[in-house]
């Protein structure tokens, strides 16, 4: 689910529909239009990376809170992974796990 942004060049700056370009992000003299667009991509990625770090910190705090309430965070992470999967794929994976465990003499 990637987000598409359309760029409009206005007074040598690039903007998205959701944001404006600040003075320190304006195109540098001598930068080609391609260079301006490329720089805009890098800046967007950098902003998204920063947001990703903040979200990761928030998630870490939620897991710490759950752990403080006595929940097993390792199991919670596994369940989150399972919930992301297609039910048919998850069922197939569980069947294979059961088959392998049975072959090893283990119980599921």
List, for residues 32-76, the tens digit of each pLDDT value.
999 999 999 999 999 999 999 999 999 999 999 999 999 999 999
pLDDT at 90 over 70: yes
Contact 97, 108 (CB under 8 A): yes
- Are both 60 and 98 inside the same structural domain? no
State the Cα torsion 101-104-105-108 to the nearest 10°.
Answer: -10
What is the number of domains present in the chain? 2
Contact 31, 39 (CB under 8 A): yes
- Are both 83 and 59 inside the same structural domain? no
- Are both 8 and 30 inside the same structural domain? yes
Angle between helix 33-68 and helix 73-84 axes, rounded to 10 deg: 130
- Are both 13 and 52 inside the same structural domain? yes
- At 87, is the secondary structure helix, strand, or coil? helix
- At 97, is the secondary structure helix, strand, or coil? helix
Average pLDDT over residues 8-29: 48
pLDDT of residue 86: 97
Q: Is the pTM of this model over 0.95?
A: no
CA distances from 71 to 59, 62, 74 (A): 15, 11, 9
| Better-scored residue on pLDDT, 90 or 23 | 90
- Domain range for 107: 72-108
pLDDT of residue 107: 84
pLDDT of residue 22: 46
pLDDT of residue 27: 58
- Are both 44 and 21 inside the same structural domain? yes
């Amino acid at each position: 689910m990637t987000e598409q942004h359309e760029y409009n060049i206005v007074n040598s700056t690039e903007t998205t529909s959701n944001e404006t370009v600040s003075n320190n992000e304006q195109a540098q003299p001598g930068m080609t239009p391609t260079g301006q667009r490329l720089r805009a991509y890098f800046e967007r990625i950098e902003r998204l990376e920063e947001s990703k770090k903040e979200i990761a910190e928030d998630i870490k705090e939620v897991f710490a809170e759950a752990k403080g309430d006595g929940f097993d965070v390792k199991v919670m992470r596994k369940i989150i992974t399972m919930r992301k999967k297609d039910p048919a794929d998850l069922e197939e994976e569980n069947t294979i796990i059961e088959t392998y465990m049975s072959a090893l003499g283990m119980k599921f």
